[in-house]
Structure 1
Amino acid sequence: MHNFLSQLPQDTTQEHFESLISTKQTRIERIVSFGQISPDTGWYDQDEHEWVMVLEGSGTIEFEDGTSTTLNKGDYLNITAHTKHKVTYTAVNQPTIWLAVFYT
């Protein structure tokens, strides 16, 4: 048995992505952020839908239309495929632990 909230990465200088399950139709990841945000290279424009939940910390997701949503511990959000978005904030005083489910 594994614990989703334990064995966090020690390197806080970068965001960490861990694939937990991957099939043709579904991918489940644990993402651990330490204040990181999306790169300045543009918006995420994914072919898959993404359901994301914050289990610890907090983060803000901004959408191309200018709206944004801040997720705190326990909050979740579904982002439909090709909805352009980026992460503009994650907590700096504690890790932000995301559960991300990508699906078609």
Structure 2
Amino acid sequence: MQQGNLFTGIPAVFPQEIFETLLEQPGVRLERILSRGQVTPPGQWYDQDGDEWVLLLQGQARLAFADGSQLTMEPGDWVYIERHRRHRVEYTSAEPAAVWLGLHLRIRNPAATPG
């Protein structure tokens, strides 16, 4: 058995976002992400091979998508980002720190697999 608290161990200052894997199984990874004002560097986009479900637990954030749309997030808001949908973090609150849960999925639909 493993256990923890998502709101403990948040440093007062950190220069980069912190990604902590909480659970990993074949095709699935759950991580806690901590942001304190960090954003995606200019001109850089996340373009991931797997789908991602993200939940903002604390703080505020804003995501931008390559199609020009934006999503402002408050605690409790979640978004499902399909694989290869280019996105970036435009804003995260410094106080309180933004605490996220990110569920990364690399499971393919078995019905789509020839065979």
> So what's the TM-score if we normalise by structure 2?
0.85
In the alignment, what sits opposite 2:76? 74
Q: Is the 8 A contact 2:34 2:97 kept in 1?
A: yes
Q: Distance in 2 between matches of 1:64 and 1:71?
A: 17
Fraction of identical pairs, as percent: 38
The correspondence for 2:64, drawn from 62, 65, 68, is: 62
In the alignment, what sits opposite 1:37? 39
Q: Is the 8 A contact 1:9 1:16 kept in 2?
A: no
Stretches of structure 1 lacking an aligned partner (at least 5 in a row):
none
Please list every run of at least 4 consecutive aligned residues from structure 1 whose deviation after the TM superposition is greater than 6 angstroms. Answer: none
Q: Is the 8 A contact 2:59 2:93 kept in 1?
A: yes
Residues 20 and 103 of structure 1: CA distance in aligned 2, closer, same or farther (over 3 Å) = same
> So what's the TM-score if we normalise by structure 1?
0.93
Stretches of structure 2 lacking an aligned partner (at least 5 in a row):
107-115
- The structural deviation recorded for 1:5 is 1.2
